[in-house]
Structure 1
Amino acid sequence: MKAKCLVGFPIHWHGEYDPFFTVQQVYSYPGAKAFSVHQHKVNPMPGPYEGLRVIEFGRFIAAPYCGQLFADGGADVIKVEPLNGDDARRNGTRLSTTEARQYLNKNRGKRSIAVKLSDPRIIKALQKLAKSADIIISNFRPGQGEELGLDYLTIAKYNPRIIYAENSAYGKKGPLAGQVGMDLLLQARTGLAEITSDGPKAIEDDPVIDYMGGMLMSWGIASALYHRERTGQGQQLDVSLLQAALVLQNNSINHVDKVDGWRNEFVAYLKDAFVKGMTLKDIVDERASRKPPIVPAYYGFFKTSDGFIAIASGGRALQMRTAKLLGVDDPAIDDINYQPDDYVEYTRAMRAKSSAILATQTTDYWLQVFEKAGLPAGPMQFKDQVLDDPQCWENDYLVRLDHEEVGGITVVAPPVKFSKSPLSTTTASPVLGRHSREILVEANLSEDEIDALFLEQVVYEQPS
């Protein structure tokens, strides 16, 4: 297998030399087609958070991803890590003693200080930094912030403008307040993990609850910054993974009294179903009998003669056009007042018809047909293929960075395009403690004090 290489060179943009862009030819595997991508190197315009200082006490995913979004926006993000680093430095593919895949992809653009957080001198230095900070992002274990004197109430006494965003598992109230939680636990508790007759199936590769938590934190902080701009007041934010899981399921986590009485009956049935000897298959079947699943005829993944195609004709107008394109006789689409005797069985029958027709031709054939008709359809791809997708590269949705220890990496780019204050990726994630000394200087510690901390192994800075 041939390793991917990227060859970059400056280009002329609209007739003028532009040093801030390069064109790169990306070669993946022998015989693979090369395509050009634009890669941002340095952005001459300041980002929306330029001049803000963020202190991040974050580990794993939600808080670090939130911090990365602010770093992309130009903020000075100081990541405070324990002496052995954020736990994410050991998650995913291990690349060195202190680097791993799951750290690289959510910590770019930050500065790292590695310290023994329980040392009173370190606490004092961090409190000094907090006096001039704009934002603190944390996901301390419950009660740890208060124990260290790095909680909102303590810091707000000497910095009332501070915006302090906390990521908890279950929120600050209720019987689970204060308990530790992870993405998988929240998937289980909120029903996001699909329960089938064969057992629960989690979303394992992509912890979507954690990432939604990070996005909600960033939205909350941006809103709090606007409030501070108008009032001069900071505030405390709580974003829980439980709330993030509910937001992700906004389509299905709801109850309409008029039609959802079955839900109360099913919940009552669940209380002693296992005690009565019911199997998981019995329970899944019982729920399906109370609320039969609807199988859309023109929405979902369909088998073709040589693979699969995704079709997303969700609205009635699109469904009518799709049925006509496929030659499916569907009375419920043609007549809005048509009421089949059994709607569930009817939709299954229509799905069977459309599936049978789609199976007669190749995926490429149907993609061309649907594109010509202006109907929503697309191919199925492995994640491995997405990293070479020219649509992603042309829109700068992926970016190449050079990590000082690991080398070249491809990561997902900042998620929003700004016309006046663009987000940018300037540096890869920092090696452990790369900026420890300079950050302690900014905390007004003397060189002698700093040297003593290093000598006592209270602070770590990885050698260059």
Structure 2
Amino acid sequence: MTSQHKQAAPAGPLEGVRVIDLSAVLMGPYATQIFGDHGADVIKIESPEGDSTRWIGPGRHPGMGPLFLHLNRNKRSVALDLKSPEGAAAMRRLIEGADVFVHNLRPASIARLGLDYESISMINPRIIWCGVYGYGEDGPYAGRPAYDDLIQGAVGIAALQQQSGASEPRYVPLTIADRMVGLHAAHSVAMALYGRERNGRGCRIDVPMFETMASVVLSDHLYGRTFEPPSGDAGYVRLLSPGRRPYETSDGYICALVYNDGHWQRFLHAIERDDLRVDPRFADLASRTRHIDEVYGFLGQTLRVQSTAHWLALFEQIDVPAVPLNTVESLLDDPHLAAVGFFRQVEHPSEGAMRTFGAPARWVGYDVSKLAPAPRLGEHTESVLRECGFDASALASLLGSGAAAPFLTDAEVSA
């Protein structure tokens, strides 16, 4: 695999892989962040205005918001105007030496830029081309815009929230569709790279949000509609029970999962309810699932009478999984995360001291600890283009025409 960008050994498993990242906002950048975390040389192509997530959230300097900082670490920023002939030509030069091309533009837009798979594969037949967008090209929704909220609604997640007890349909307060689809894109590209090592061929990968998230939702909730004719309704009843929630205790909340037969036998014995150990509703997983609202109702009433500390100690004693209820704020002080070194204090060249976190998977034999700071807009425009063969005159022409944007310091922006 090709790369002109040197990294210190021992390197991540994707060392030597060059990724051209023409994605913005969250879904595509999350996938390419994973590549960068594992050693790939990720070149983030931005318009001269920059990725819109640069301006989301409280920041110390314009264009360096917290979402952008977390999603775009271990990347280099090149600012190009791809609608200009010179910018498009520079992009083609970058693609010549790349292994992977990722974008999240709609198919019509990527074709207008001349960056569709057919055009790119003529430049670089070994390229792994990955398009991440709303809907597959074979259906009536092809080309429609898509965002996390819209996809959550379209695949039933918002309705499931109401079905499980919310007063109205609600989106999950996470960019869950963007993250899940980004993960699918990352593992699809990794498999394509492995395939290319065996057969030498590049390929095209389309990762549609709607179909990807429909498969995630239906894997749980197709349920009785799996069979023809149906054996029951759609919807995994345990997940939809209003009682499936953190349980109130006498002084707070606890998250506990009394789930398998052993859990229930030990729990009922510990609370001196041996009568329920022979109750058919509690007899086995299938029966408890059929009576899930009653089962969860019983747990809710039982746990309310003692403190969180009492139940945590008991559950640990009888080997039933349980944890305290964290908030995002208390998660920052979680003792396990502290012990495993989850959080990292880093110094960003413009933003100063930052709290961040690295790749969660642990590797033996590879170093995935690199945390290069998220780039400032156009920070690497000139250095990357020089690597690709642009001499001083060609580079000056690109910058002078506005086809490429140079990196400007805060002082230069303010001047």
TM-score range, shorter chain: 0.7 to 0.9
Q: Secondary structure at the match of 2:269?
A: helix
Two-structure CA RMSD over aligned residues (Å): 2.8
Go from structure 1 to structure 2 and tell me whether the alpha carbon gap of 1:232 and 1:334 turns closer, same or farther (over 3 Å shift): same
1:106 matched residue in structure 2: 71
- Spell out the pairing of 1:62-461 with structure 2 (5 A cutoff): 62-193=27-158, 194-195=161-162, 198-204=167-173, 206-249=174-217, 250-254=219-223, 255-257=225-227, 260=230, 263=233, 295=241, 300-328=245-273, 329-330=275-276, 331-332=279-280, 335-336=283-284, 344=291, 347-461=292-406
CA contact (8 A) 1:401 1:427 kept: no
Structure 1 range deviating more: 160-169 or 237-246? 237-246
Structure with the bigger percentage of strand: 1
CA contact (8 A) 1:169 1:179 kept: yes
What is the rounded CA distance, in whole Å, between the counterparts of 2:267 and 2:229 in structure 1? Answer: 30
Could you tell me which amino acid in structure 1 is paired with residue 22 of structure 2?
F
What is the rounded CA distance, in whole Å, between the counterparts of 1:85 and 1:49 in structure 2? Answer: 26
Tell me the alpha carbon deviations over residues 61-118 of structure 1, each in whole angstroms, 9 at most, x when there is no partner. 1110111111111111100000010111122334422111111111001000112121
CA contact (8 A) 1:56 1:80 kept: yes
Go from structure 1 to structure 2 and tell me whether the alpha carbon gap of 1:181 and 1:338 turns closer, same or farther (over 3 Å shift): closer
Go from structure 1 to structure 2 and tell me whether the alpha carbon gap of 1:380 and 1:259 turns closer, same or farther (over 3 Å shift): farther
Q: Percent identity?
A: 28
Go from structure 1 to structure 2 and tell me whether the alpha carbon gap of 1:386 and 1:244 turns closer, same or farther (over 3 Å shift): farther
Structure with the bigger percentage of helix: 2
What is the rounded CA distance, in whole Å, between the counterparts of 2:150 and 2:10 in structure 1? Answer: 42
CA contact (8 A) 1:316 1:333 kept: no
Aligned length: 394
What is the rounded CA distance, in whole Å, between the counterparts of 1:79 and 1:339 in structure 2? Answer: 53
CA contact (8 A) 1:326 1:354 kept: no
Q: Secondary structure at the match of 1:401?
A: strand
Q: Secondary structure at the match of 2:227?
A: coil
TM-score w.r.t. the length of structure 2 is 0.87
Tell me the alpha carbon deviations over residues 247-306 of structure 1, each in whole angstroms, 9 at most, x when there is no partner. 432211352336846659xxxxxxxxxxxxxxxxxxxxxx99xx8987498x64211100
Structure 1 range deviating more: 448-457 or 360-369? 448-457
1:50 matched residue in structure 2: 15
Go from structure 1 to structure 2 and tell me whether the alpha carbon gap of 1:401 and 1:171 turns closer, same or farther (over 3 Å shift): farther
Gaps of 5+ in 2: 1-6, 410-415
Q: Secondary structure at the match of 1:251?
A: helix
CA contact (8 A) 1:164 1:235 kept: yes
Report the CA distance between 1:217 and its aligned residue. Answer: 0.7
CA contact (8 A) 1:129 1:442 kept: no
Q: Secondary structure at the match of 2:251?
A: coil
Gaps of 5+ in 1: 1-41, 265-286
Report the CA distance between 1:337 and its aligned residue. Answer: 11
What is the rounded CA distance, in whole Å, between the counterparts of 2:205 and 2:34 in structure 1? Answer: 17
CA contact (8 A) 2:148 2:177 kept: yes
Q: Secondary structure at the match of 1:98?
A: coil
Structure 1 range deviating more: 241-250 or 132-141? 241-250
Report the CA distance between 1:198 and its aligned residue. Answer: 3.7
Report the CA distance between 1:438 and its aligned residue. Answer: 0.9
CA contact (8 A) 2:261 2:284 kept: no
What is the rounded CA distance, in whole Å, between the counterparts of 1:391 and 1:414 in structure 2? Answer: 16
Go from structure 1 to structure 2 and tell me whether the alpha carbon gap of 1:428 and 1:311 turns closer, same or farther (over 3 Å shift): same
Q: Secondary structure at the match of 1:146?
A: helix
